[in-house]
A and B are shown apart, each in its own frame.
Chain A
Amino acid sequence: MARKLPEVDVVLVGFGWTASIIAQELTEAGANVLALERGEWRDTVPDFSVTHIQDELRYAVRKEIFEQTRRQTMTFRNKPDQLALPMRELGSFLPASGVGGAGVHWNGQNWRFLPTDFMLRTHNEQRYGRKAIPDDMTIQDWGVNYEQLEPYYDKFEYLCGISGKAGNIGGRIQAGGNPFEGPRRREYPLPPLKRCAATELFDKAAREVGFHPFPAPAANTSKPYLNTLGVQMGQCTYCGYCEWFGCANYSKASPQSTILPVLLKKDNFSFRTHSSVTRILTDSTGKRATGVVYVDQNDREYIQPAQMVVLCAFAHHNVHLLLVSKIGTPYDPQTGTGVVGRNYAYQVSSSVNVTCKERLNPFMGAGALGQVVDDFNGDNFDHTGKGFLGGGYIALWNTGGRPILQEYLPKGTPKWGAGWKKALHEDYLYSTHMQGHGGVMSYRDNYLDLDPTYTDNYGNPLLRLTFDFHHNENAMSKFLTDRATEIAKAIPNRGINSKPRKGDYSIVPYQTTHNTGGAAMGNDPRTSFVNPFLQSWDVPNLWVMGSSVFPQNPGYNPTGTVGALAFWAADAMKRYIRNPQPLVQT
C-alpha cells in the first residue's frame, strides 16, 4: 500500500532544466518545493570528469547517458492504420534520465524563435491567404507573443552565459549577427566562440552565394562567466565532447553548472532521485490536483500530496502521465476533438557532407560551435510559389569529430573493406557536414495516445506515437538541402555528398531530440491543454513545462524557448500562489 508523505507546496515531476528554473523561482517566492527525478543524481564532479566522460562508445554509442527503453519507451507507427510496435532501441531521439535531464547532454545550441513563429496561423493566413494552409494542417497561434517572451529569453540567456552576436538590438540591425532575428534588448552576455577551420570555410562560402551567415548562439562559454545567480562558469576548451556527454569544465550551461549550486542550499527545496511518478492524483471533482504517486527503486509506492503539480519531464512523458492519469480530454483523430496527445510534431533534418581541400581537424570543436544561415527559416523569405510553408536553418556545426559516429565520407565510398579504410584515412581530417534543420507543422494524423497492447514495468500502457512527415516538410527539406548544396559547392572541395531526407519517417537513425506537442498551449481550451501561462484549463493547479506545450515545431532547437517559457510560467505561478484562480477565465 502506498505510503502517504507530508504535503509540499509544489511538487515537480522531473528535475531537468524546467524543474530547476521553476524551483529556483518559486523557492525565492517562499514556496516549499520538491522535485521527483526518476534517474540518478549527477554532478560535474565526479560524473562528468575528463577521466571518463570523453568516451564516445560508452555515452554516445551505448547511450549510457540516456533513458533506457527497458524502463520507459513508446510504440510507434507512421500511419493510424498500422500496428504500432515498441521502440526497443533508442534511435531517432534520445530522452534523458537523471538530474539535469537533457540539459546535461545537449549541445548548447540556444535559439529564440521568430516573432512570426508565435502567430503561425494568423501570420500565414494574412500573408498567403487561408487556402495556403492545408485542411489537415492543425497549426495554431501560441497565445503568447515574442514581445511578451523577450524579457524571459533574456533572463535564460544571462543565466546560461550564451556566447553569440546580436543581429537586432531594439530594432537596429547589427553587423555580424543574425539580421532575421526578433529584436532583443541587449547584446549576448558573451562574445561568440572562436571559429574553427570548417566554420570559417562555411562563412566565406555562404557569403559568396549571397546568404547571411553568423555565429550560432552557444550555451558554451567563450569566456569565464559569472552568471546571474552568482555561479561561476569556466571558459570552453573546445574538447569536442558536449553533445551526448556531460561537460567537465563548467562551460556548457546545464542545471548543474548554472542553478543547482544555489538551489541546493535552500531549506525550502528538496529532491528525491530514483523516484518515478506514475500518476497525477485529483480530487473527486477532477478539477484539482492533490499530488502525485511515485515508485522508488525498490518498487515501494508513495503518495506525495501537493498544493501544485508541475510536469517538468520530457515532452512524451508529460503527455503519457496526463493520459494514464485520465486528466484532460484525450485527442481523437477521427473527430479532431480532444487535446491531450494532439499536435505532436518533430523536426526535419537533412545533410550535405563536404570533403574539403583544407585540413579541418574536426576533433577541435564544441556542441554549439557553428556558423548558421537563417535566410530560409520561418517566414524570413517569400514562400509564394514555393509549395510549402515554414523553413529552417542551414548550419555547419563542428561538434567534435568523434570517430565512430561522425563518418562524413564522399559519395560512393564502400561501407567496409580496404576502400572504406582508404577513404577514412584520406578524408577524416578533411570532412565536415552541413545540416538543414527544419520545422515541422502539426497535422490531424500526427498524435500521441495510449497503446492497446504493450505495457511498461508498472503495468501501464506504453505511449503510442503516430507520426509521419507530410508533403510540406519534404518539400521544405528539399529546398533547404538544395540551398546547403549551393554553399557546399562554394567551398574548395574534393567531393560533396548531398543527403536529402527520403521516404517515411523512421524511428531508427538519429535525427533530433526536438519532440514537441501533445499538451499544446493556446487561447482556446478546445485546441489546447494549457492556457498561455502553461496552466491546465481543466485543473488550474496543474502546469505543464517543456516542448510538450509547443503547438507545432519551429525550425530552431527548442531549449531557449523552453527556458524562456519556464521563467514566463514561473512569474504566472507566483501570481497564482497569491490568488489561486485560473489566470485566464473561460
Chain B
Amino acid sequence: MEQREDIGLGRACTTERCDSPSRRTFLLGSAAFISSSLLLGGCGGGDSTRTVVAPRFLDGDERRFVRAAIDRLIPADALGAGAVQAGVDDFIDAQLAGPFGQAAGIYMRGPFHLGAKEQGYQLPFTPAQVYRLGIQRVDEHCRKTLGNVFAQLKADQQDKVLHELEDGKIDLGEIPSPNFFNLLLQNTKEGFLADPIYGGNRDFAGWKLIGYPGPRYNYTDDIEKFGQPYDAPFVSLGGEHPVTCRLSDSPTGRFRGPGCEYAQMPAKMHYDALTTTTGKVWPAGNL
C-alpha cells in the first residue's frame, strides 16, 4: 500500500466501529460457519455488493522495521514464540490503521506545548504518525551512524539502538525518542497479550508463555483450590479452537485465516482446506 504522502491514516471503513473485534471475530474466527450475508452485514450496513476493505497502514519498509524491532522486544527463545511468531506486526498494523492509530477519540485541538511530564502526551501527532515519522528518523539515524537501516542491523546493534531510543539518546526531531519507543513497546506487549481476535497472540503464544487461560466465564468451582494448577484449554473470544492455518491467495486478494491478515475481503471468497489447532480439517469451499 503506497500512502507515504498521506502521513495520517491508512484506509479504513466508513463507520467508526467497522473494525470492532466482535465483527472481526465473525469474519475470521468462525468464517467457515458464517453465511455470506452475515459476513457482509458488519460493515457498511449489509450492502451485498460492497467490498469490505480491511485497514492497513504500514508499508514494506515500515513493516520490516516493526518486525525487526518487535523481534528484539519479545524474542523467540527456549520459552517459546516471540512477538514475530505471535503475529504482533499484524496486530500493530491493524491498530495503526484503526481508531487507535488515528487518535479517533483523542482531544487534538491546539495550541500544542510540550509541558511537564505530569501533563501527559502533548504532541500534535496521532499514534500512526508517530510510527511513520519515528521509523523514518530511526532508519536515517541507523543509516548515518551504522551504515544500514534498522532491520538490516545485527541483533546486538538493534538492542543498542532500542536502548538509546528508550533513554532519549537519539534525536528524532519533533518526537522525543522515548515517546516513540514507549508506544512501540506498549503496542508490542498488547499484541502479544491481547485476545487473538486482534491478530497478535497467535496460537495463544503470549498466554501460553504466562499461563493465562483466556477469557473464561466461571471459576466458581476452582477459585478455592489454592495453589493448584488450572489446566483447561486456552480460549479466545473467537472460540476455543481458533483456526491457525492460512488461507491461500485468492484472485481478489491475499488472505490468512483467523490469524487475521486479510488485504481485501471480496463479496465471495474461496478458501483452501483448513486445519484447526485440534486437528479438525475443514474441506475447501466458498463463503
Contact = CB atoms under 8 A, between A and B. Distances in A.
A180 interface: no
Contacts of A85: 113, 115, 119-120, 122
Given A364-B222, A364-B223, A454-B109, A78 B118 contact: yes
B108 A70 contact: yes
A239 B213 CA distance: 11
Contacts of A424: 209-210
The 4 A-B residue pairs with the shortest CB-CB distance in the complex, in nearest-first order? A54-B215, A68-B105, A428-B210, A57-B194
Contact of B219 (A61, A237, A359, A416): A237
A76 interface: yes
Contact of B22 (A52, A63, A420, A422): A52
B263 interface: no
Contacts of A28: none
Given A82-B116, A422-B79, A425-B209, 15 more contacts: A55-B197, A61-B190, A69-B107, A88-B106, A88-B107, A195-B223, A238-B219, A359-B229, A363-B212, A363-B213, A416-B74, A454-B109, A506-B120, A508-B118, A508-B120
Contacts of B75: 417-418, 421
B237 A507 contact: no
B280 interface: no
B123 to A, nearest CB: 9
B106 A429 contact: no
Interface in A414-472: 415-418, 420-422, 424-425, 428-429, 453-455
B93 interface: no
Contacts of A73: 107
Contacts of B74: 416-417, 420-421
A56 B195 contact: yes
A80 to B, nearest CB: 14
B211 A358 contact: no
A417 B82 CA distance: 10
Q: Which of A56, A358, A416, A506 has the most CB of B within 10 A?
A: A416
B227 interface: yes
Contacts of A68: 105-106
B5 interface: no
Contacts of A238: 218-220, 223
A238 B229 CA distance: 17
A55 B105 contact: no
Contact of B206 (A86, A403, A507): A403
Contacts of A365: 223
A507 B116 CA distance: 10
Given A506-B118, A508-B117, A55 B220 contact: no
B100 interface: yes
B47 to A, nearest CB: 23
Interface in A172-220: 194-197, 200
B195 A57 contact: yes
A51 B111 contact: no
A89 B106 contact: yes
15 contacts: A51-B237, A56-B194, A57-B21, A68-B105, A84-B119, A89-B121, A235-B220, A238-B223, A248-B217, A361-B228, A415-B185, A416-B72, A416-B162, A421-B74, A428-B212
Contacts of A506: 117-118, 120
Interface string B195-234: 1011000000011011111011111101110111110000
B193 interface: yes
A82 B145 CA distance: 39
B189 interface: yes
B228 A418 contact: no
A62 interface: yes
B77 interface: yes
Contacts of A195: 223-224
Contacts of A88: 106-108, 120-122
Interface in A330-386: 358-359, 361, 363-365
Nearest to A422: B79
A111 interface: no
A50 B109 CA distance: 37
A243 to B, nearest CB: 14
Interface of B: 20-22, 25, 72-75, 77, 79, 82, 99-100, 104-109, 111, 113, 115-122, 159, 162, 166, 185, 188-190, 193-195, 197-198, 206-207, 209-213, 215-220, 222-224, 226-230, 237
Contacts of B166: 415
Interface string A24-53: 000000000000000000000000001110
* Interface of B (DSSP majority class): loop
B215 A57 contact: no
B211 A404 contact: no
B138 to A, nearest CB: 16
A403 B212 contact: yes
A416 B73 contact: yes
A298 to B, nearest CB: 16
Nearest to A201: B226
A241 interface: yes
Interface in A399-421: 401, 403-404, 415-418, 420-421
A234 to B, nearest CB: 11
B41 to A, nearest CB: 15
Nearest to A54: B215
Contacts of B113: 83, 85
Contact of A50 (B21, B116, B188, B217): B217
A364 B194 contact: no
A530 to B, nearest CB: 30
A388 interface: no
A77 interface: yes
A526 interface: no
Given A68-B105, A85-B122, A401 B115 contact: no
Contacts of B227: 197, 358-359
B105 A403 contact: no
A136 interface: no
A86 B230 contact: no
B228 A359 contact: yes
Contacts of B119: 76-77, 84-85, 87, 507
Nearest to B17: A64
B21 A52 contact: yes
Contact of B210 (A57, A425, A505): A425
Interface in A59-101: 61-63, 68-71, 73, 76-78, 82-89, 91
Q: Which of B25, B162, B209 has the most CB of A within 10 A?
A: B209
Nearest to A198: B226
Contacts of B218: 237-239
Q: Which of B185, B188, B190 has the most CB of A within 10 A?
A: B190
B109 to A, nearest CB: 7
A50 B215 contact: yes
A583 to B, nearest CB: 39
A70 B104 contact: yes
B116 to A, nearest CB: 7
A403 B193 contact: yes
B220 A91 contact: no
A553 to B, nearest CB: 19
A300 interface: no
A147 interface: no
Nearest to B119: A85
Contacts of B195: 55-57
A504 interface: yes
A421 B82 CA distance: 9
Contact of B230 (A200, A364, A404, A420): A364
A58 interface: yes
Contacts of B159: 417
Contacts of B108: 70, 88
B177 to A, nearest CB: 15
